[in-house]
Amino acid sequence: MRLLLILALLFPLPALAQTAVEPKLVPDVSQRNINIQSRFTGAELLLFGAIIYPRGVAPEGQVDVAVVLRGPTRPIILREKQKVAGIWVNAESIDFRSAPAYYAIASSRPIDKIVDARTAAIYELGLKRLQLSPTGEIQTSEVRRFTNGLVDLNRRDGLFAEAAGAVDITDQVLYRARLTIPSSVPEGRYVAETLLIRNGRVIVADDSVVVEISKTGFERFITIMAQEYGLLYGAFAVLISLFLGWFAGYVFRRL
């Protein structure tokens, strides 16, 4: 009896029961490296995996999965254009410290159907829940207005996407989703995160896979020259422009 009492104090039964029934995720992606070349027109990334249940038995109730692919974050300055005396000029602006260059989410059902607003905000599930960390003292309404503008711009460019019902779950074990990578995607380190949700609670949210998107060949050479040797790159661009202008004039004179 004394041994049982000690074990009960050290390992409470609810905690043991909770950890015993928690499933695990085994996520993966179809490509871990995406190369951007001159003929790059975009790519389609398949995110898939398996849900492993204790003793191989799925619990009763519906299981939902959400997958998020997030690109490199960087600070940006978002400016609003206004027409003054017939001329478009920069008006108000806002600084965001951590805006993702790419964000796409796919879920088995609409996000508001599987989690509440508080949980969605904690895990940044959905374009409305992105936390961009504005600098300075700015009214909430202004932050929301600029955030909506940024989301709208990136959405039209294909850099922000939200697809409810795009995750297929087979027998509550296998899942898969396809996300589109546009041709304008910037290079960098991307993280594909999978969240397992049941009864409105996120069970697993730390299983992620890294995807590297980088330029190769001549495009990479141009990028390195522009970023690391700006003066030499600018001088070379001017020389090429002068040569092309001279050559065009010479051809026209000959004609």
Over residues 98-111, the pLDDT tens digits come to: 899 999 999 999 99
Looking at the fold, whether 125 and 191 belong to one and the same domain comes out as yes
Q: What is the CATH number of the domain that holds 191?
A: 2.60.40.1930
pLDDT average, residue stretch 68-90: 83
**Among candidate residues 146, 142, 43, 48, the one with its CA nearest the CA of residue 102:** 43
Looking at the fold, whether 116 and 93 belong to one and the same domain comes out as yes
In the predicted model, is pLDDT for residue 41 greater than 80? yes
Looking at the fold, whether 50 and 121 belong to one and the same domain comes out as yes
Q: Residue 48 falls within a domain, yes or no?
A: yes
Q: Residue 7 falls within a domain, yes or no?
A: no
Q: What's the pLDDT at 48?
A: 95
In the predicted model, is pLDDT for residue 131 greater than 70? yes
**pLDDT band, residue 226 (cuts 50/70/90):** low
Q: What's the pLDDT at 191?
A: 94
Over residues 169-202, the pLDDT tens digits come to: 998 899 999 999 998 898 899 999 999 998 888 9
> Hey, CA dihedral for 146, 151, 152, 157, is it positive or negative?
positive
Looking at the fold, whether 87 and 112 belong to one and the same domain comes out as yes
In the predicted model, is pLDDT for residue 36 greater than 80? yes
Looking at the fold, whether 171 and 210 belong to one and the same domain comes out as yes
Looking at the fold, whether 145 and 103 belong to one and the same domain comes out as yes
To which residue do tokens 């599930």 refer?
125
**Among candidate residues 42, 47, 65, 61, the one with its CA nearest the CA of residue 182:** 42
In the predicted model, is pLDDT for residue 15 greater than 50? no
Looking at the fold, whether 59 and 119 belong to one and the same domain comes out as yes
Q: Hey, which residues does 193 pair with through a beta bridge?
A: 68, 208
Q: Residue 2 falls within a domain, yes or no?
A: no
Q: Residue 175 falls within a domain, yes or no?
A: yes
Per the structure, the count of domains in the chain is 2
pLDDT average, residue stretch 23-38: 89
In the predicted model, is pLDDT for residue 13 greater than 80? no
Looking at the fold, whether 146 and 222 belong to one and the same domain comes out as no
More confident residue, 57 or 143: 143
Domain span holding position 232? 217-247
What is the chain's mean pLDDT, rounded?
82
Looking at the fold, whether 64 and 106 belong to one and the same domain comes out as yes
Over residues 147-165, the pLDDT tens digits come to: 888 999 999 999 999 999 9
**pLDDT band, residue 8 (cuts 50/70/90):** very low
Looking at the fold, whether 185 and 241 belong to one and the same domain comes out as no
- Distance separating alpha carbons of residues 173 and 51, to the nearest angstrom: 5
**pLDDT band, residue 218 (cuts 50/70/90):** low
Looking at the fold, whether 130 and 186 belong to one and the same domain comes out as yes
**Two tokens at 99?**
């805006």
CA end-to-end span of the chain, whole Å? 107
**pLDDT band, residue 223 (cuts 50/70/90):** low
Looking at the fold, whether 147 and 235 belong to one and the same domain comes out as no
Q: Residue 203 falls within a domain, yes or no?
A: yes
